[in-house]
Amino acid sequence: MYDNILVPTDGSDATESTIEHAASLARTSDATVHVLSVADSRNRFESPSSGIAPDVWQESELERAERAADAALEALPDDITTERIVEEGVPDTVITEYADDPDIDVVVMATHGRTGLDHYLIGSITERVVRTSSAPVLTVRAEE
């Protein structure tokens, strides 16, 4: 049923549950797991008076994304076929664009379960991907 499973990761603890679900699906279907980590190109801390310089932000984000992809790959069982992708951009946009590839059968990603003001202020990358992805999205609630 599934040949290609997309697993976006930000390196958070929520990835652990997501990896377990993706591995189970991959084993059942003999599918390839595509691990995608996005270096956020938006520097929310850049300002004339304080913050992080654009080049420092970009380098830091790229290193974080590389570590997140590597950690997710290490967490997957060795018998699962994988592909590693690290890209720069706005996370939900990059994830949706990758998920729109006709070869991607399902996206498996975590939801942090934020509500109220946290949800309003921080938003939800998962929610935006669910609303815009042409591929089905399996959401996995992060463990507390």
- The ranges assigned to domains in the chain are 4-141
Quote the pLDDT of residue 114.
54
Quote the pLDDT of residue 122.
45
Quote the pLDDT of residue 4.
97
Q: What is the mean pLDDT of each run of 10 residues along the chain (144 residues)?
A: 94 88 96 96 61 77 95 96 96 95 94 56 76 94 70
Quote the pLDDT of residue 36.
98
For residue 74, the one-letter residue type is E
Kindly report the CATH number that applies to the domain delimited by 4-141. 3.40.50.620
Among 91, 45, 82, which residue's Cα sits nearest to residue 64? Answer: 91
Dihedral angle, C-alpha 136, 138, 20, 143, nearest 10 °: 160
